[in-house]
Amino acid sequence: MKQRIRIGCAAGFSGDRLEPALLLTQHGQLDYLVLECLAERTIALAQKRKRHDPTQGYDPLLERRLEGLLPLLLANNVRLITNMGAANPLAAAEKIAAIARRLGLSVTIAVLTGDDVFDQLSGDETALETGQPLCASGPLLSANAYLGTDAILPALATDAQIIITGRVADPSLFVAPLVYAFGWPLTDWDRLGQATVVGHLMECAGQLTGGYFADPIRKDIPDMAHLGHPFVDVTADGMAVFGKVAGTGGKLSLATAKEQLLYEVMDPGQYITPDVVTDFTQVRLLETGPDQISATGGRGNSRPDTLKVSVGYDGGFIGEGEISYAGSNALGRAELAGSIIQERLQDQFSDLRIDYIGSTSVHRTNFNQPPAPYEIRLRVAGRATTAQQAALVGEEVEALYTNGPAGGGGARKYVHEVVGIVSTLLDRSQINPQITLIDA
């Protein structure tokens, strides 16, 4: 058994930078590389792509990420664990196999499926967010259960160099290789709790190493253009030490680690994943060197009997329009424009939003600070059931050119398709994870 496992994380969302994975794989001396690319809504969007084309539905950047990465993974003997399979992990594996063949490489890919439970839902299940049946939110598009470590372990027990999944709980991407390496029982809740703390700190990649942290002067982070992504060394006792590749930008400090530890956590005493209910409240972080942090004290209680299922539904369309005003009385002219749009569209849109970018658009208030901005951008958004109706919003804003206040410029209009997300719970016994091996 290895005494120490090193896991790197080089993507914290689908659109994350490509080169940290190359750097970590080449210079990080990793055992495992994790790429976490699947946000709540990403999988529903992927499901839509799969419906249009059954060979699609995996991460849109898969090919670009793997093209350069695959040879490095194999040369450095690093196993990749990633949820880039999204709505179609089997097709993702076939794509990776095709890339390997093209590059003259031999690789085994383990594919985890079984998270797609769309056919198992009737639509009458209660949505946790609304208390109403799922189908009341809109036409259902997708349903994916959050699988956990127990589902990933059989993939690790194969010879596969690549493990590709659809929906799994983000921390489980890290918990699974630790459990596999150290043989921790799946009922050792404190170990699993500590491993979940490790996974949670790692899963957003650059957010641990100074990304999404900087505020000039007060919270300076060096060389953010080359922000390095983190790795973690874990030993069999659960001790975790976080670091990053020497020479990369960014910073790993107590402050960056604290922000990430609490990121997106609801009750810090009960962080629920398929593996364990983790208690973050006794976690201790220590600075153990330059750009080096240790974490201990994660604990846990027994895992939930149910798994969370993320359900995507068709939420119609959103139409948007924007136009800018600058100079004297910019806000006054923008507000006049907003009131004109309000009057013209309020009867056709039950849900219409008017924002003044530069004043109150993002915080929805300016805490009564003097609003005298030099320039303001009016932004209008409305919800609609058809794309055609949604387009009205932008058309009306654009018409402010010749019909609105003086000096409006830079009008833009957009229409987006909306995929909403609600969630429900499903008993574990109803979910059957499977591993498929694909060779190239």
Cα 414–419–424 angle (5° rounding)?
160
Q: Residue 355 is encoded by which pair of tokens? A: 């924002």
Q: Dihedral of CA 221/268/166/234: which sign?
A: positive
Q: Which is nearer to another protein, 6 or 200 (CB)?
A: 200
Query: Integer distance in angstroms from the first to the last C-alpha of the chain?
Result: 28
CB 229 within 8 A of CB 9: yes
CB 79 within 8 A of CB 180: no
Is residue 8 a contact point for another protein (CB under 8 A)?
A: no
Is residue 423 a contact point for another protein (CB under 8 A)?
A: yes
For another protein, which residue of 67, 223, 267, 395 counts as binding (CB under 8 A)? 267
Angstrom CA distances, 165 to 34, 81, 112, 204, stand at 11, 8, 5, 17
CA-to-CA distance for 421 and 37, rounded, in angstroms? 17
Q: Which is nearer to another protein, 166 or 382 (CB)?
A: 382
Q: Residue 286 is encoded by which pair of tokens? A: 């220590």
Which ranges of 268-379 does DSSP label H, i.e. alpha helix?
Answer: 330-345
Q: Which is nearer to another protein, 106 or 281 (CB)?
A: 281
Supply the minimum distance, in Å, between the C-beta of residue 44 and another protein. Answer: 8
The answer for residues whose C-beta is within 8 angstroms of residue 290's C-beta and 6 or more apart is none
Is residue 203 a contact point for another protein (CB under 8 A)?
A: no
Is residue 387 a contact point for another protein (CB under 8 A)?
A: no
Q: Residue 382 is encoded by which pair of tokens? A: 């409305």
Is residue 373 a contact point for another protein (CB under 8 A)?
A: no
Stretch that binds another protein, among 1-9, 208-216, 225-233, 424-432 (CB under 8 A): 208-216
Is residue 52 a contact point for another protein (CB under 8 A)?
A: no
For another protein, which residue of 98, 286, 362, 387 counts as binding (CB under 8 A)? 362
Is residue 263 a contact point for another protein (CB under 8 A)?
A: yes
Q: Which of 190, 345, 202, 339 is nearest to 279 (CA)?
A: 190
CB 397 within 8 A of CB 79: no
Binding mask 339-358 for another protein (x = CB under 8 A): ------------xxx-x-x-
CB 240 within 8 A of CB 234: yes
Q: What is the dihedral of CA 321, 326, 330, 335, to 10 degrees?
A: 0
Length of the chain: 440
Is residue 421 a contact point for another protein (CB under 8 A)?
A: yes
Q: Which is nearer to another protein, 260 or 324 (CB)?
A: 260
Judge residue 377's burial from the number of C-beta atoms within 10 Å of its C-beta, 0-12 exposed, 13-18 middle, 19 or more buried: buried
Q: Which is nearer to another protein, 180 or 313 (CB)?
A: 313
For another protein, which residue of 268, 287, 301, 389 counts as binding (CB under 8 A)? 268
For another protein, which residue of 255, 336, 411, 425 counts as binding (CB under 8 A)? 255
* Residue 15 amino acid letter: G
Q: Which is nearer to another protein, 77 or 369 (CB)?
A: 369
Binding mask 136-175 for another protein (x = CB under 8 A): ----------------------------------------
Is residue 383 a contact point for another protein (CB under 8 A)?
A: yes
For another protein, which residue of 3, 77, 365, 429 counts as binding (CB under 8 A)? 365
For another protein, which residue of 12, 148, 210, 382 counts as binding (CB under 8 A)? 382
CA-to-CA distance for 434 and 440, rounded, in angstroms? 20
Supply the minimum distance, in Å, between the C-beta of residue 142 and another protein. Answer: 12
For another protein, which residue of 176, 285, 293, 435 counts as binding (CB under 8 A)? 285
Residues in the site for another protein, rule: CB under 8 A? 40-41, 129, 212-213, 215, 218-219, 255, 258-269, 280-285, 297, 315, 318, 351-353, 355, 357, 361-365, 367, 379, 381-383, 418-421, 423
